[in-house]
Chain A
Amino acid sequence: MNKNDDSQSGTQFLSNLSSYAFNTETLPSHEEAKKILASEKIDTSKLKIWVNDQLRSARAKQKLTEAEKKRSKMVERFSAIRSRLSQGTEELRESVMAKLQILENSSPDLAQVYCRKFEETSDEDLPDLEAELLMLEKWNEETEK
């Protein structure tokens, strides 16, 4: 099938002619696409529903992933706060114990009462106990003057 030296084989010619006539190198514009679909009697409505379902579930998955990330960040923050809190409780306990030792020197009976109270006091109530001991300390200091 050689017309001249530059001509192609029939296979190449058919392939190139088809690509040219059917515009296969680029995606058609939406206007063009609508005309093509109409002439080919193709209805894309079912396909669109299917794709929208797929995208909805992809979006839901994306939201879930974001929520999981948020949650894990919150968990990290809580554990940091908890660790700081437990550190504070330890400091409070030491401060209460120091005050009890001082009280033992001045009023051993009262110190024993407060020692029992200290053993029964929850972490939450420790600040109140410390405040009471602080007041006692101040009262003792005043009476000694």
Chain B
Amino acid sequence: MDNSDRLAASAEDIGKLLDRLTAHAAMRLNSLQWRPTGRDGVVPRGESAETIAQSAFLKLLNGAKWDAEKALSTVLMGIVDSQIANLVRSWENKRFQNLKTTSIDEEPEINQITDEGLNPIELTERAEDDDIALKILDALEVDSSEYRVASAIFDGNLKRSDIMSAAALSASEYEATKKRLRTFLKKFWQNQAANQHKESATRP
């Protein structure tokens, strides 16, 4: 039985699964917005949550690996995640190449590796990310539940129970905080993108 036979025979409600898969892809793409967006952003033009979900289905129909014990939803989610990871990887490679080309005259030792195993370009990127992370923490109201959650994550807490305990939140507060943080991050990135756009427009 090949993948198309298994898909045709699958008991899962395909319509609902498509909604869930597309929503997941949309959230994954949203979660990448701390990286540059727009023309040279992580998500290329023409690529969207719908095209990613469609391409995952097509890949499965064309014979992508489908572990017999895994449900259709799990397999499709895995394909979507790997497609998005590939977008990030390809953006990073492209960005690294661009930076290398533009910096080569100014920085002859661009390939030099630091003690941390990073080259100067990677160090610059890391500094930029550090700067954005600090801006996020600064923008949150100290002692608000959003700030406490962000601090808990900053301190390395990743599991739900660890975050709840570190941020002193109940289950319902945890979910509500998550939604507020999501809205906050969306606005923050929108402002960030607008500022970047302004800066590049005023550059001679």
Interface residues of A (CB under 8 A from B): 1, 3-4, 6-11, 13-24, 27-30, 32-34, 36-37, 40, 42, 44, 46-48, 50-52, 54-55, 58-59, 61-62, 65
Residue of B with least CB distance to A16: B153
A9 engages B130 (CB within 8 Å): yes
The answer to whether A62 touches B31, judged by C-beta atoms less than 8 angstroms apart, is no
Q: How far is the CB of A57 from chain B (nearest CB, A)?
A: 8
Chain B residues in contact with chain A, CB under 8 A? 4-5, 7-9, 14-16, 18-24, 26-28, 30-34, 48-50, 53-54, 57-58, 61, 73-74, 77, 125-126, 128-134, 136, 149-150, 153-156, 158, 163, 178, 181-182, 185
Asked whether, in the complex, the Cβ of A10 is within 8 Å of the Cβ of B133, the reply is yes
Question: How far is A7 from B166 in the complex, measured between Cα atoms in Å?
Answer: 14
Hey, which chain B residues are within 8 Å of A65, CB to CB? Answer: 5
Q: Which of chain B's residues has its CB closest to A66's CB?
A: B5
Q: Shortest beta-carbon distance, B200 to chain A, in Å?
A: 21
Partner of B153, one of A1, A4, A13, A22: A13
Q: List 11 A-B contacts (CB under 8 A).
A: A1-B133, A6-B156, A9-B129, A10-B126, A10-B134, A13-B154, A28-B20, A37-B26, A51-B54, A58-B7, A65-B5
**Once bound together, how far apart are the Cα atoms of A8 and B178, in whole Å?**
20
Contacts of B53 in A (CB 8 A): 44, 47
A10 and B131 contact, Cβ closer than 8 Å, known pairs A21-B185, A24-B24, A48-B18: yes
Contact, CB under 8 Å: B4 / A24: no
Docked complex Cα distance between A48 and B16 (Å):
9
CB pair B31 A24 closer than 8 Å: yes
Please pick, from A1, A18, A40, A58, the residue contacting B31 in the complex, using a CB distance under 8 A.
A18
A17 in contact with B14 given A10-B126, A24-B27, A33-B20 (CB within 8 Å): no
Q: How far is the CA of A14 from the CA of B135 in the complex (A)?
A: 11
Contact B20 A30 (CB under 8 A): yes
